[in-house]
Structure 1
Amino acid sequence: MNEEFVLLEPDDQPGDEWEQLDVSDTEADRIARKQDREFDEFRKRIKNTEQFKLQESVFDDATLAAVYKLVQDGYVDAFGGPVSTGKEASVFEALGGQAGERPEPGSEAAGGGPEGVHSEREVAVKVYRINSSNFRQMRDYLEGDPRFDGIASDKKAVVLAWTRKEFANLERARKAGVRVPEPIAVQRNVLVMELVGHAEDRARRLNEVDVENPETAYEVVREYMRRLYRAGLIHGDLSEYNMIIHDGELVIIDMGQAVTVHHPNAGEFLDRDCENVATFFTREGIDVDPDDLRAYVTEPESDPAGEPEGKLGGEPDADPSGESE
């Protein structure tokens, strides 16, 4: 097969095209280089700090970028040491800044910020490990949750969704009147929230303290369980290990696995919560029946006329177990 190849004739004669290009620095170029330098310095500061040397598996480049964004946005002003370390996540203490900007120390803006966020306020920074998190267990809690329909089977996507899920669960729980750590900000696999207690004097888990008044503590726990349920949530892993005591307050923590009442395994998770709570308080000397606790938690809310509404959070009537006859 014969083909002819023809060269195109140039429209203009070649000249010194470089004279037509403006290669001078722009303000955007200078800002970008400054941000790159600051991020490199931030990365070195985190990884070279003594207290973070054992945490290098936590602070990969993507996580460092997320933390750096939270610092730049003013949610975190200074990092402290680790408060707790687990297989899936580590919690660090930090100083929270004024969201939206980083106030200069001593400035008027440094005196406060949005509601609940002050530059000198201690906060907790929870960092989920993408590589070592229990991917399969997380996926079991996410699948069937209507808020996360279509979540990919990619491990990173699941961990990032899990972090957003904990933030959303904390927000919903607080609105329902349940004492949980206040959620402040979320960025990728990093969650900023209220630090209950202090790093030097951390709040103690329920299994670590002598409960002086177990009857009152139990009444608080079952009421929080009921409020969560009426807000459409079930904790899913409630036990003495996920409740802490500080300054006379009982606080429920670790809300990442909490599911909606429409999750297909919601009934099973609720039964397990009731069993765990009943077992603990029975050991504390109170006769608690898990079936009675479940009945209390799931009792329909009455309308002002005294008639049960039969609805949960404005949703149609539904069997929390997800089963139908």
Structure 2
Amino acid sequence: MANDFELVDPEGGDISGDEWEPIDVSETEADRIAQKRDRKFEQFEERIKDADQFKVEQSVFDDATLAALYKLVQDGHVEAFGGPLSTGKEANVYQALGPDDTEVAVKVYRINASNFRQMRDYLEGDPRFEGLGGKKKDVVLAWVKKESANLERARKAGVRVPTPIATERNVLVMEYIGNEAGRAKRLGEVHIENPETAYEVLREYMRRLYSAGLIHGDLSEYNVVFHEGQLVVIDLGQAVTVHHPNSRGFLERDCRNVANFFSRQGLDVTGDDLLEFVTTPEPDPSRD
């Protein structure tokens, strides 16, 4: 791993986000496509179901999910699908080809997610999701839109994250973080030559998130990857606003996880010290 880590610059402007704006989980165009089932959609569905990369995971691809993929193709966000990048209990991530030969990642959430209750723990108390019903479909659809909104908010705050591109129902299209050899390696999978600099960059990203009103909620060496000289924070689906009733506990856990990892790399750091740094506003140079 490189000795230096590049910090991205904040975009500036309004990064207050949409924390008070309700998330719409009503029927989408994908639902209507699945209900109509015209000939073009049925041909697309047959091609996807016959594709080798999807055969072992057909339980993920119900008609409405296939319709969501179809809609993303029709809208020009996806040109062709590749193989899986990761599989999990709540979602699978696939490599795909976007417009102009760009590579994108397609994250497909299962409607019948096994950790449905855990997802609700993060959603309940978030002001963006007040009044959300108890249907699994609504929870997952809200989760997808929440992840996209969190990524955009983090990006504007100057945190290096995958750029969100589009959402449709239970599918999120975002920037692919990797190269022709495969996905970028997680921090816990690589040898860190300069842990001091890596720690300084990651703690700054945590402070920028907090200043933008967000807390990752599941941050560890497994949700940070190294790519082209940068640390990239991933998996922001569960990130909550600072107004969430459990936000402090989530932040304290993030700080412990990060500090414990870098302690194992030989640094003299603690979760309490990291918590103090993250919650202390950055000095304003204009006041010097």
- Give the TM-score range, shorter chain: 0.7 to 0.9
Amino acid at match of 1:130: I
How well do the aligned residues superpose, as a CA RMSD in angstroms? 1.5
Q: Partner residue of 2:144?
A: 163
Correspondence 1:145-160 to 2 at 5 A: 145-160=126-141
Contact 1:239 / 1:276 at 8 angstroms: preserved in 2?
Answer: yes
Correspondence 1:132-143 to 2 at 5 A: 132-143=113-124
How far 1:199 moved relative to its partner?
6.0
2-side partners of 1:148 and 1:194: how far apart?
25
Bigger Cα Rg: 1
Question: SS at the partner of 2:56?
Answer: helix
Amino acid at match of 2:276: A
Matched pairs, number: 253
Question: SS at the partner of 1:62?
Answer: helix
1-side partners of 2:280 and 2:56: how far apart?
48
Question: SS at the partner of 1:267?
Answer: helix
Q: Partner residue of 2:183?
A: 202
Q: Partner residue of 2:31?
A: none
1-side partners of 2:285 and 2:263: how far apart?
35
Question: SS at the partner of 2:94?
Answer: strand
How far 1:301 moved relative to its partner?
4.4
Q: Partner residue of 2:105?
A: 124
Are 2:272 and 1:297 equivalent residues in the alignment?
no
Q: Partner residue of 1:85?
A: 87
Are 2:27 and 1:46 equivalent residues in the alignment?
no
How far 1:201 moved relative to its partner?
2.4
Question: SS at the partner of 1:240?
Answer: coil
Match 2:162 to one of 170, 181, 186: 181
2-side partners of 1:241 and 1:53: how far apart?
27
Q: Partner residue of 1:257?
A: 238
How far 1:198 moved relative to its partner?
3.0
Q: Partner residue of 2:63?
A: 61
2-side partners of 1:234 and 1:297: how far apart?
10
Amino acid at match of 1:262: H
Q: Partner residue of 1:283?
A: 264
Note closer, same or farther for the CA distance 1:122–1:173 as it changes in structure 2 (3 Å cut): same
Contact 1:83 / 1:199 at 8 angstroms: preserved in 2?
Answer: no
Q: Which stretches in structure 2 are left out of the alignment for 5+ residues?
A: 1-35
2-side partners of 1:160 and 1:273: how far apart?
25
How far 1:148 moved relative to its partner?
1.1
How far 1:200 moved relative to its partner?
3.3
2-side partners of 1:207 and 1:264: how far apart?
30
**TM-score w.r.t. length of structure 2:** 0.85
Name segments (4+ residues, structure 1) moved above 6 Å. Answer: none
Question: SS at the partner of 1:268?
Answer: helix
How far 1:300 moved relative to its partner?
2.8
Contact 1:180 / 1:251 at 8 angstroms: preserved in 2?
Answer: yes
1-side partners of 2:132 and 2:210: how far apart?
24
How far 1:38 moved relative to its partner?
1.2
2-side partners of 1:269 and 1:179: how far apart?
20
Contact 1:89 / 1:133 at 8 angstroms: preserved in 2?
Answer: no
**TM-score w.r.t. length of structure 1:** 0.75
Are 2:195 and 1:214 equivalent residues in the alignment?
yes
How far 1:132 moved relative to its partner?
2.7
How far 1:37 moved relative to its partner?
1.4
Q: Which stretches in structure 1 are left out of the alignment for 5+ residues?
A: 1-33, 98-118, 308-325
Correspondence 1:263-274 to 2 at 5 A: 263-274=244-255
Deviates more, 1:132-141 or 1:251-260: 132-141
1-side partners of 2:173 and 2:211: how far apart?
26
Question: SS at the partner of 1:191?
Answer: strand
Per-residue Cα deviation, 1:133-153 (whole angstroms, up to 9, x for no partner): 411000000011111111111
2-side partners of 1:305 and 1:122: how far apart?
41
Note closer, same or farther for the CA distance 1:306–1:292 as it changes in structure 2 (3 Å cut): farther
Q: Partner residue of 2:25?
A: none
Q: Partner residue of 2:223?
A: 242
Amino acid at match of 2:222: Y
